[in-house]
Amino acid sequence: MPAYLNALGLVCALGHGKRAVANALFAGDASGMQLQEGWVDQRSLTVGAVRGELPAMPAGLEQAQSRNNQLLLAAALQIEAPLRDAIARYGADRVGLVLGTSTSGIDEASDSIGRFLRDGALPPGYQYAQQEMVAPARFLADWLGLSGPVYCQSTACTSSARALLSAHRLLRQGVCDALICGGVDSLCRLTLNGFAALEAIASERCNPFSANRRGINIGEGAALFLMTREAGPIALLGGGASSDAHHISAPQPEGLGAREAMHKALQTAGLHASEIDYLNLHGTSTTHNDAMESLAVHAVFPEGVPCSSTKPLTGHTLGAAGALEAAFCWLSLSEYNPANALPPHLWDGVAEPGLPALQLVPHSAVMRRAHGRRLMSNSFAFGGSNVSLILGETQGDAP
C-alpha cells in the first residue's frame, strides 16, 4: 500500500523551506558549507550549519528549549496548516508522530554538565529531559496536542529513514490515519569530537567516491512529512531495511546488508532496478562507506543508475539524513523542479581504481523521464543498520 507524502517542511544548510532548498539543491550550491572553528579543539572544520534566525519556543513550552527543537519547529511551521487540518479531520488520537534523531538536546546538556564540573552547580533552566532521545517527539506532540502514538527512533544515520518506514507501517496496520514523520539533528561538539576521534572527519569539503576522499563533514537540519492514505502526487512506494551487524563502526565490506535493503525496497515497491530513475547515495566520503556502497550499487544496478551524494551540499545530518535526503527526492518529483533536474554530485572527478564506476550526476543533468519517475534514497549507519526508500509519482491529486 503506497503512503502519500502530502506536505513537506525542511531546513538545512541549503536554506529554509522548499523553494530555497530546491533552488540551491539543483544548482549544486555548496555555499552553506563553511569552515568554522570551535567544534573540535585546534581544528577548523567544514560544517553544514543552518543560517539565519530560528523560531523561539511557543508559549508554555519554553522548557523544551534546544537548538534541535528549534530546527524541528522551523520545519513544522512551514506545514502547520496541513498538520492541524489533519488533526482536526482525523482526531488527535488518530494522528501519530515518528521522528529520528541522534543528538536531541545533547549539546545543551554537555554545556550544562561542563558548567557543573567547573562551577559545582548546573545552570538555571537545565532540563535533564531535553537530552533524552524522545525529547523532539514529545515537544512537537505537545505543541500540536497529539494523543496518538508518539516516539523517536535513534539508529544513528538511518534514524529518520526508519521513522518513515515505521510511519508507513502504522498507517498500513490501521493504527493511525495520518502520520507526521521525519527527522532532526543539530550540530553538536560531542558528535564532532567523536568523529574526529575516529579519524573520520575532514577539514575541507567532503569529496564522496573520490580516491582523494578524507572523511565526512557534519551538518544539521530537519525534514518533516505529512503521510496519509489520501492520494497525492508523491508517494512512499516502498522501503527495505536490514541489519548486517558486521562491526560497530564499519560497514560490511562487500555491502551485503546494503544490497539487501535495496532489494527489499524494490520488492515492496513492485519495481525492477531498471525502473529507478535516480539514486540518492549515502555517500559519506569515508574510505569504507564509499567503497562498500560502490560495490552494493553496482550489484543491484548492473546497468547503472544516475546517482549522487548530496552531503557536499548539506554535510552529513546524521539522524536527520534519511528524511532530509528523501525530501530531496520529493523535491525532485515536485513543482519545485520544473526543469526535471537531478541533484548534482560534487567531487574532484578522481575515481578510485579497483571500485566499480558509478553513474555520478554532473551539473545540469536531467531525468530521463518526465512522468512516472521513481527515485531511491540510501541510508546506512553504525552497527550495520541499512535502509533504502523509494519515492515516486502517482496519478493522485494533491489534497
3-class DSSP assignment, residue 264:
helix
Q: Taken in order 169, 175, 177, 180, is the CA torsion positive or negative?
A: negative
Q: Among 282, 307, 329, 345, which one carries the catalytic annotation?
A: 282
**How many Cβ atoms are within 10 Å of 89's Cβ, its own excluded?**
14
Phi, psi of 348 (to 5 degrees): -90, -5
Q: Are the C-beta atoms of 65 and 285 separated by less than 8 Å?
A: no
Query: Distance between CA 219 and CA 187 in Å, rounded?
Result: 6
Exactly one of 16, 168, 316, 345 is catalytic; which is it? 316
Give the phi and the psi of residue 379 in degrees, each rounded to 5.
Answer: -140, 130
Which pairing describes strands 15-16 and 33-40: parallel, antiparallel, or unpaired? unpaired
Q: In which residue are the cell numbers 503512503 written?
A: 3
For residue 316, indicate whether it is catalytic: yes
104, 68 contact by CB (below 8 A): yes
CA proximity to 396, closest of 168, 180, 234: 234
Which residues are within 8 A (CB) of 332 and not within 5 positions of it... i.e. 6 or more apart?
A: 278, 341, 342, 343, 367, 373, 375
> Rg of the Cα trace of the chain?
20
Query: Which positions ≥6 away from 369 have C-beta within 8 Å?
Result: 277
Work out whether strand 150-153 and strand 95-100 pair parallel, antiparallel, or are unpaired.
Answer: parallel
**Which spans in the chain are helix H?**
18-27, 67-78, 80-90, 106-119, 135-144, 159-172, 189-197, 256-269, 287-300, 311-314, 321-332
Any catalytic annotation for residue 181? Answer: no
Alpha carbon distance 271, 286 (integer Å)? 30
Instruction: Examine the residue annotation and report whether 157 is marked as an active-site residue of this protein.
Output: yes
What is d(CA 125, CA 263) in angstroms, rounded to the nearest whole number?
A: 48
Catalytic positions: 157, 282, 316
